[in-house]
């Protein structure tokens, strides 16, 4: 008989090893055994994803594995959610709109952040690179974003993040969205100075900060 | 930033023997200690002298391998590099190019 | 309890107690040792780092005899482009040679990627020829492999940064493999022309910025260049402290490239024929200078000890322990300089 402790351990392993068959089997067995599925989802599969994120940040696993783990996670979440009666576990996914600011065509780092955010269950709307502030705001309203994330790799384009904050304030929209900033020349100090809600030191940190923003 | 690094830990370029040690690192992929030893032996000085701008000024002028101060009739640019190539017994790409262009080789 | 003036990783001032500094030094050093699976610093080295951090002098320096040579990435971008001085590149090189007393210099184009140079390579070569006639110090030509430029919309290849988040892993890997070949061709073409124009060396800068494919393309280009020009000096400056696995399965001579740390990166560069290795250790802007410096020195020492070729640790904005700011404070920069050389055993910066 499957017990919750073993299921949690195996769920973590299945995610870390991107083993879809094993993950799906555990989810189904847990449903049949009447285990606490919310606990399995949080302490097992989601914890596995956190381990994957940490390993990625240390250069121990790579982007393709990260994506595969996220795909496995998506599959088991669907299975478990249909069986979970409690509505509390079926919270609406947070929507994050993400863009590289106008004048900046660097999107590799942003792509990694997008991938990591997806592993954590965020609905990510990536509107690309070289995106003007007007378009960022327009799109954020359209998709009803919870968080707006902007990336700037150049010291010369960093100022666009400030422009976004100013524009949100000018349009009376500042309280509607949480904002997070990142990119090579960006710092915590810069985020505070321009009035952004959070700063991501790297991709893993950005995810942690986005999760924290949702708690506020 | 370059200036601070230079003050804190740099050899001093053509004021001393910085360019020469760099050349040897580049042409022989030598670690810093070996590169300095190689240059010191070729110049006939001790390793610590390589960063002494007083001593190296005299030596560079004597060997006519270029120095920060412009002196008439002293070698400059590619001329100085011809002499550096001989002193250090290494090939310098631009010097070889020059020789080819003026049909020296 | 007395406090010592030091810096945060973003360059801002902070006062920390002895216990706080020692704790940060220890944590930074252990983080490097743990991530890189490399030896920890000795007690003596940690004590020395503590003395360097808490030295009351504003600017510290190495002991006489420990001087090293410097190479510069983005060399001629600094005076005419970033500082906005109305000088040409040859004047920039000569200013570095005769006024700033740099040991070496580098000519580079403002659009600093090999792919972007194809249309102007002969003008670049002429510029190198003129400069070589007038300068004494060794002059590199440098640019970045920047493999991302081969992806749509900048290039012909599908964009793996877009494919990966869509879980199109096979397609993303195929796109990278296609771009590698294009990048190799461009790097070899540009480097050959600049070397034949008299460059003393070629610098591949910010290698791995587009992931492990970027690194593999550079290694392949080095192999070809060294077989064409055995005397060519090649410097490889990295983009980050570990190779980002955008592909994840690429290998060079049996070594998987993704996830390699500096002491492992240098071995493949050495095998490919690289002459100087520019190690990079990322600065964390939210941590203190003691934390970042101890971490950088631990990586640097392991890298230098593993290497048979000279290691020039990158010590510019946001790397090597240098704070993440355009104008890194003198106190922090000089402490980084001294520590990387005297404890981190760097052969140059």
Q: With an 8 Å Cβ cutoff, are A62 and C259 in contact?
A: yes
**H-assigned helices in C155-288:** 160-163, 169-196, 212-228, 262-272
Q: Is the pLDDT assigned to residue C89 strictly greater than 70?
A: yes
Q: Do A115 and C164 touch (CB under 8 A)?
A: yes
Asked if residue C91 has pLDDT above 90, the reply is yes
Query: Residues 213-242, chain C: which have Cβ within 8 Å of B?
Result: 231-233
Q: Which residue has the higher pLDDT, A34 or C294?
A: C294
H helix or E strand, kind and range, residue C277: strand C276-278
Cα atoms in the 13 Å half-sphere on the side-chain side of A50: 9
Report d(CA A126, CA C162) in Å as an integer.
9
Domain locations in chain B as residue ranges: 2-101
Among A137-151, A196-210, C128-142, the range scoring the smallest mean pLDDT is A196-210
Contacts of C71 in chain B (CB under 8 A): 22
pLDDT surpasses 60 at A88: no
Task: Determine C/A contact with 3+ CB pairs under 8 A as the test.
Answer: yes
Mean pLDDT score across all residues of chain C: 96
Dihedral of CA atoms B64, B65, B69, B73 in degrees, nearest 10, equals 40
User: CA of A44: how far to CAs of A77, A117, B65, C189, C244, in Å?
Assistant: 11, 18, 70, 52, 27
What is the token pair recorded at B58?
């005299």
String of DSSP letters for A4-68: HHHHHHHHHHHHHTT-HHHHHHHHHHHHHTT--HHHIIIIIIIHHHHHHHHHHHTTSS-HHHHHH
Vertex C217: Cα angle to C211 and C222 (nearest 5):
130
- Whether residue A86 is predicted with pLDDT greater than 60 in this model: the reply is no
> Does A contact B via 3+ CB–CB distances below 8 Å?
no
Task: Check CB contact of C286 with chain B, cutoff 8 Å.
Answer: no
With CA atoms as reference, the chain C residue closest to A59 would be: C259
pLDDT band for A92, please (50, 70, 90 cuts). Answer: low
State percent of chain C over pLDDT 90: 93
Whether the predicted pLDDT of C329 surpasses 70: yes
Residues paired with residue C276 on neighbouring β-strands, in sequence order: C235
Does A1 score more than 90 pLDDT? no
Average pLDDT over residues C182-198: 98
Spatial distance between the Cα atoms of C206 and C146, rounded to a whole number of angstroms: 8
Asked whether the beta carbons of residue B5 and residue C349 sit closer than 8 angstroms, the reply is yes
Residue among A110, A111, A188 whose CB faces C285 most closely: A188
Per-residue pLDDT, A61: 87
What is the predicted pLDDT for the residue at C293?
Answer: 98
pLDDT for the residue A53: 82
On chain A, the residues whose CB falls within 8 A of the CB of C167 are: 67-68, 70-71
Show Cβ contacts of residue C201 under 8 Å, excluding neighbours closer than 6 positions. B26, C138, C140, C141, C232, C233, C234, C235, C275, C276
Q: Is A107 in Cβ contact with C165 (below 8 Å)?
A: no
Distance in Å, alpha carbon of C196 to nearest chain A alpha carbon: 32
Among B4, B32, B3, smallest CA distance to B18 is for: B32
C75 versus A101: which is more confidently predicted?
A: A101
Q: Spell out the domain ranges in chain C.
A: 3-342
Put simply, whether C90 touches B (Cβ < 8 Å) is no
Q: Span A133-138, mean pLDDT?
A: 97
Q: Percent of chain A having pLDDT more than 90?
A: 52
- Distance from C286 to chain A by nearest Cα, in Å? 7
Looking at the partner chain, which of C72, C196, C348 has a beta carbon nearest the beta carbon of B2? Answer: C72
Residue A91 has a pLDDT of 59
In contact, C323 and C329? CB cutoff 8 Å:
yes
**Given A64, A105, A188, which is nearest C169 (Cβ)?**
A64
pLDDT of residue C7: 97
**Choice among B94-98, C85-89, C125-129, C302-306 with the minimum mean pLDDT:** C85-89
DSSP letters, B5-68, are HHHHHB--GGGTTHHHHHHHHHHH---HHHHHHHHHHHHTS-GGGGG-HHHHHHHHHHHT---S
* Mode of pairing for the β-strands spanning C105-107 and C139-143: parallel
Mean pLDDT across the stretch A133-158? 95
Tell me what the mean pLDDT of segment A54-72 comes to: 86
Residue B19 contacts C where some CB pair is shorter than 8 Å: yes
Is residue A197 within 8 Å of residue A175, measured between CB atoms?
A: no
Over residues B57-61, mean pLDDT: 96
Neighbours of chain B (3+ CB pairs under 8 A): C
Query: Could you give the CA distance from residue C138 to residue C96 in angstroms, rounded to a whole number?
Result: 11
What mean pLDDT do residues C325-329 have? 91
Say how many CA atoms lie within 13 Å of B43 toward its Cβ.
30
pLDDT of residue A114: 87
Check whether C1 has a pLDDT greater than 70: no
Do C35 and A58 make contact, defined as CB atoms within 8 angstroms?
Answer: yes
Which tens digit of pLDDT belongs to each residue from C247-297? 999 999 999 999 999 999 999 999 999 999 999 999 999 999 999 999 999
What local confidence, expressed as pLDDT, does residue C74 receive? 80
Contact list in B for residue C196 (CB cut-off 8 A) is: 97
For residues B35-39, give the mean pLDDT.
Answer: 98
C59 → closest Cβ in B7, B25, B31: B7
Percent over 70 (pLDDT), chain C: 100
Q: Which CATH class is domain C3-342?
A: alpha beta
Q: Has residue C43 got a pLDDT over 90?
A: yes
List of domains in chain A = 4-88 (1.10.1240.10), 95-215 (3.40.50.280)
Residue B9: the pLDDT is 95
- Range A178-196 average pLDDT: 94
Chain B nearest C-alpha distance from C183 (Å):
24
Chain A residue with CA closest to C34: the answer is A58
C285 or A91, which is more confident: C285
Distance (Å, whole) CA B61 – CA B27: 24
Residue B38 has pLDDT above 90, yes or no: yes
Structure-token pair, residue C261: 């740390």
| Option in B32, B68, B98 nearest C68 (CB) | B32
Report CA C30 to chain centroid distance, whole Å.
Answer: 23
What confidence score (pLDDT) does residue B81 get? 98
Contacts of A114 in chain C (CB under 8 A): 165
């Amino acid at each position: 008989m499957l017990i919750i402790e073993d299921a949690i351990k195996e769920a973590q392993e299945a995610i870390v090893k991107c083993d879809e068959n094993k993950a799906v089997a555990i989810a189904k067995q847990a449903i049949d055994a009447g285990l606490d599925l919310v606990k399995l989802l949080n302490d097992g599969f989601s914890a596995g994803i956190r381990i994957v994120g940490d390993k990625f940040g240390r250069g121990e696993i790579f982007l393709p594995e990260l994506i595969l783990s996220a795909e496995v996670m998506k599959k088991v979440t669907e299975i478990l959610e249909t069986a979970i009666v409690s509505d509390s576990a079926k919270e609406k996914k947070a929507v994050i709109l993400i863009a590289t600011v106008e004048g900046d065509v660097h999107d590799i780092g942003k792509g990694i952040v997008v991938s990591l955010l997806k592993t954590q269950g965020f609905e990510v709307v990536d509107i690309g690179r070289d995106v003007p502030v007007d378009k960022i705001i327009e799109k954020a309203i359209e998709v009803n974003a919870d968080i707006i994330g902007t990336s700037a790799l150049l010291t010369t384009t960093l100022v666009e993040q400030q422009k976004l904050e100013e524009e949100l304030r000018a349009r009376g929209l500042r309280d509607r969205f949480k904002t997070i900033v990142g990119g090579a020349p960006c710092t915590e100090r810069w985020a505070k100075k321009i009035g952004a809600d959070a700063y991501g030191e790297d991709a893993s940190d950005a995810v942690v900060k986005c999760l924290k923003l949702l708690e506020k | 930033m370059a200036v601070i690094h230079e003050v804190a830990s740099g050899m001093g370029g053509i004021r001393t023997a910085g360019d020469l040690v760099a050349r040897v690192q580049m042409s022989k992929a030598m670690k810093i200690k070996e590169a300095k030893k190689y240059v010191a032996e070729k110049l006939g000085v001790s390793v610590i002298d390589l960063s002494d701008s007083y001593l190296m000024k005299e030596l560079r002028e004597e060997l006519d391998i270029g120095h920060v101060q412009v002196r008439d009739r002293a070698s400059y640019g590619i001329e100085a590099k011809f002499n550096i190539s001989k002193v250090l017994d290494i090939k310098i790409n631009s010097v070889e190019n020059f020789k080819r262009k003026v049909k020296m080789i | 309890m007395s406090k010592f003036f030091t810096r945060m990783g973003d360059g801002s001032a902070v006062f920390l107690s002895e216990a706080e500094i020692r704790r940060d030094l220890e944590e930074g050093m252990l983080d490097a040792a743990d991530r890189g699976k490399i030896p920890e610093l000795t007690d003596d080295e940690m004590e020395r780092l503590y003395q360097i951090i808490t030295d009351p002098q504003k600017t510290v320096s190495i002991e006489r005899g420990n001087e090293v040579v410097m190479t510069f990435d983005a060399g001629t971008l600094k005076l005419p482009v970033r500082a906005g001085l109305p000088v040409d590149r040859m004047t920039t090189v000569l200013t570095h040679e005769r006024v700033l007393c740099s040991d070496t210099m580098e000519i580079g184009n403002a659009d600093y990627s090999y792919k972007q140079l194809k249309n102007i390579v002969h003008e670049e070569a002429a510029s190198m020829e003129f400069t070589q006639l007038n300068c004494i110090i060794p002059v590199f030509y440098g640019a970045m492999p920047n493999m991302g430029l081969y992806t749509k919309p900048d290039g012909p290849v599908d964009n793996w940064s877009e494919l990966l988040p869509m879980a199109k892993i096979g397609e993303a890997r195929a796109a990278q493999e296609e771009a590698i070949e294009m990048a190799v061709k461009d790097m070899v073409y540009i480097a050959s022309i600049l070397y034949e124009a008299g460059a003393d060396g070629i610098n591949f800068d910010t290698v791995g910025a587009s992931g492990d494919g970027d690194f593999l393309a550079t290694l392949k280009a080095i192999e070809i260049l060294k077989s064409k020009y055995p005397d060519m000096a090649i410097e490889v400056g990295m983009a980050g402290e570990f190779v980002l696995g955008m592909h994840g399965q690429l290998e060079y001579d049996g070594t998987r490239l993704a996830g390699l740390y500096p002491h492992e990166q240098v071995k493949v560069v050495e095998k490919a024929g690289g002459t100087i290795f520019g190690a990079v250790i990322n600065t964390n802007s939210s941590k203190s200078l003691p934390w970042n410096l101890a971490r950088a020195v631990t990586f640097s020492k392991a890298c230098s000890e593993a290497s048979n070729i000279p290691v020039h640790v990158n010590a510019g904005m946001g790397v090597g322990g240098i704070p993440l700011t355009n104008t890194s404070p003198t106190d922090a920069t000089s402490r980084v300089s001294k520590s990387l050389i005297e404890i981190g055993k760097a052969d140059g910066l």
